[in-house]
């Protein structure tokens, strides 16, 4: 890999100035702005396989993959062909298509907990609609979420814990009235005793518990098996719908999603509802929510819970998603992806250990996290104890060496099937040089 020496950042910098004049912060989604790590965001010109090139022509090994969707790498030939064909047939009709049925069939085949589903255009929309449906189906108002889990930016979810379990959350964003989050209870991830206490107090008034089973929005943190088992038991006992937000983990950590990972340790384990996005669209705006027939039939036009979308099930997006899901369903796909990802985290850990740098890492399928901590964190507060100036130095050193990690210490990373052993080795070499002080 050619290192990006003599970095000429002038075109990125000019574009950032132009963008900032018209778009708040110069970006259309906040984390892209490099606010956490400082510096000038890279404006991407094109991407292919495991790489993208910025406006100054510098190449980067891409460990974001559009924050998860690009599990096959960029520009996979089968996906490109499917999208090109779909574009020729029309962009959007506002009437149903065969491809929506095919995509629904493909998802239901891989996730046995889903009997019916609805397609939407973003993870935010899917999570928001799932909560409305859970409330409509149970006739209850309260919802439980966990600190550090992200479920998109619906008002009721932009909330942090109140003081004590008797009080509900406080908004984390201006513009969200306190009344809108008054039914949202925010708990600590992996804290079983607090979970039990919350159910004893509020279980009978709670519609749903929403969780990222393997959290990817506080870096990479797994829900422990005992914690997940207790979530399932309590939800069943109190008639609360257990909603897995698998927008990030669905078709990313395994063909059957994170729920299939927990089902290996907890016999018969299934969530009641699942929210999907990212990989199921293969890089196009596509997401979904689904669950049992009885719950899903509460949705309009069959039932009383309203939900709709002009571009839902878009024919180009469904072509892209379907082609992607057909590739990942090929035998051995996740075994190979998981091994490559483990090679990355192992070689980074070795490089750090050799240099005496505190470091640990974890992964599942094509999703990983690394930490400048001496052991894997179990919750958001521990993730946030990371030495952030040290992380920022690491991030910028790697960027200068042509490796693009998420520009914030509280984000997970992603490996695609296009990443080669040589890419992993080049990444580990770059890290080793940084750890050794170079």
Ligand X SMILES: *Cc1c(COP(=O)(O)O)cnc(C)c1O
- Which residues of this protein are in contact with ligand X, per CB under 6 A? 122-124, 127, 150-152, 212, 216-217, 245, 247-248, 277, 287
Residue 278 is among the residues annotated as catalytic for this protein: yes
Nearer to ligand X, 247 or 428 (CB): 247
CB of 275 to ligand X, least distance (A): 7
Distance CA 43, CA 397 (A): 18
Residue written as token pair 């946030």: 384
Instruction: Give the Å distances, CA to CA, from 227 to 155, 240, 248, 408.
Output: 27, 16, 20, 27
Task: Name the residue number minimizing CB distance to ligand X.
Answer: 123
> What are 275's strand-pairing partners?
245, 289
CB of 17 to ligand X, least distance (A): 26
Give the strand order in the sheet containing 403-404: 44-48, 51-54, 59-62, 403-404
Q: Which of 51, 60, 63, 150 is catalytic?
A: 150
Instruction: Give the Å distances, CA to CA, from 43 to 10, 40, 56, 175, 283.
Output: 11, 9, 9, 30, 17
Instruction: Give the Å distances, CA to CA, from 172 to 115, 129, 216.
Output: 35, 20, 19
CB of 243 to ligand X, least distance (A): 11
CB of 411 to ligand X, least distance (A): 10
In this structure, how many other beta carbons lie within 10 angstroms of the beta carbon of residue 304? Answer: 9
Q: Which of 278, 404, 405, 423 is catalytic?
A: 278
Nearer to ligand X, 288 or 426 (CB): 288
Nearer to ligand X, 287 or 295 (CB): 287
CB of 151 to ligand X, least distance (A): 5
CB of 6 to ligand X, least distance (A): 36
Q: Which of 54, 56, 245, 362 is catalytic?
A: 245
Nearer to ligand X, 52 or 67 (CB): 67
Nearer to ligand X, 245 or 362 (CB): 245
Nearer to ligand X, 275 or 428 (CB): 275
Nearer to ligand X, 245 or 423 (CB): 245
Residue 400 is among the residues annotated as catalytic for this protein: no
- 251 alpha carbon, distance to own chain's centre: 11
CB of 241 to ligand X, least distance (A): 17
Nearer to ligand X, 149 or 426 (CB): 149
CB of 272 to ligand X, least distance (A): 17
Question: Which are the catalytic amino acids?
Answer: 150, 245, 278
């Amino acid at each position: 890999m050619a290192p990006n020496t003599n970095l000429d950042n002038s075109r990125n910098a000019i574009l950032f100035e132009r963008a900032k004049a018209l778009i708040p912060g110069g970006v259309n989604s906040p984390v892209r702005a490099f606010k956490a790590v400082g510096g000038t965001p890279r404006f991407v010109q094109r991407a292919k396989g495991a790489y993208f090139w910025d406006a100054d022509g510098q190449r980067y090994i891409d460990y974001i993959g559009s924050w998860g969707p690009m599990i096959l790498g960029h520009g996979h030939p089968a996906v490109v062909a499917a999208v090109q064909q779909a574009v020729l047939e029309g962009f959007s009709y506002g009437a149903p298509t065969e491809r929506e049925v095919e995509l629904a069939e493909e998802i239901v085949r891989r996730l046995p907990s889903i009997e019916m589903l609805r397609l939407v255009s973003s993870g935010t929309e899917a999570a928001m609609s799932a909560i409305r449906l859970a409330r409509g189906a149970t006739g209850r108002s309260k919802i439980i979420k966990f600190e550090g889990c992200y479920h998109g930016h619906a008002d009721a979810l932009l909330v942090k814990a109140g003081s004590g379990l008797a009080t509900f959350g406080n908004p984390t964003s201006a513009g969200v009235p306190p009344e809108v989050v008054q039914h949202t209870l925010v708990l600590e991830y992996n804290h079983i005793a607090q979970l039990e206490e919350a159910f004893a107090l509020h279980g009978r008034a709670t519609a749903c518990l929403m969780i990222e089973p393997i959290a990817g929005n506080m870096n990479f943190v797994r829900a422990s098996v005992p914690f997940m088992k207790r979530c399932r038991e309590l939800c069943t006992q109190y008639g609360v719908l257990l909603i897995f937000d698998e927008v990030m983990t669905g078709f990313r950590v395994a063909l059957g999603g994170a729920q299939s990972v927990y089902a290996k340790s907890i016999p018969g384990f299934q969530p009641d509802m699942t929210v999907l996005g990212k990989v199921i669209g293969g890089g196009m705006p596509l997401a979904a929510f689904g669950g049992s027939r009885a719950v899903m039939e509460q949705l309009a036009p069959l039932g009383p819970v309203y939900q709709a979308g002009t571009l839902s099930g878009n024919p180009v997006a469904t072509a892209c998603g379907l082609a992607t899901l057909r590739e990942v369903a090929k035998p051995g796909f996740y075994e190979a992806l998981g091994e490559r990802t483990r090679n990355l985290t192992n070689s980074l850990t070795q490089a750090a250990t050799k240099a005496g740098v505190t470091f640990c890492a974890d992964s599942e399928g094509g999703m990983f996290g690394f930490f400048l901590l001496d052991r894997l964190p179990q919750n958001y507060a521990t993730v946030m104890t990371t030495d952030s100036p040290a992380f920022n130095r690491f991030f910028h050193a790697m960027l200068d060496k042509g490796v693009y990690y998420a520009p914030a210490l509280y984000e997970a990373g992603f490996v695609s099937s296009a990443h080669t052993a040589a890419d992993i080795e080049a990444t580990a070499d770059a890290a080793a040089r940084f750890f050794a002080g170079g």
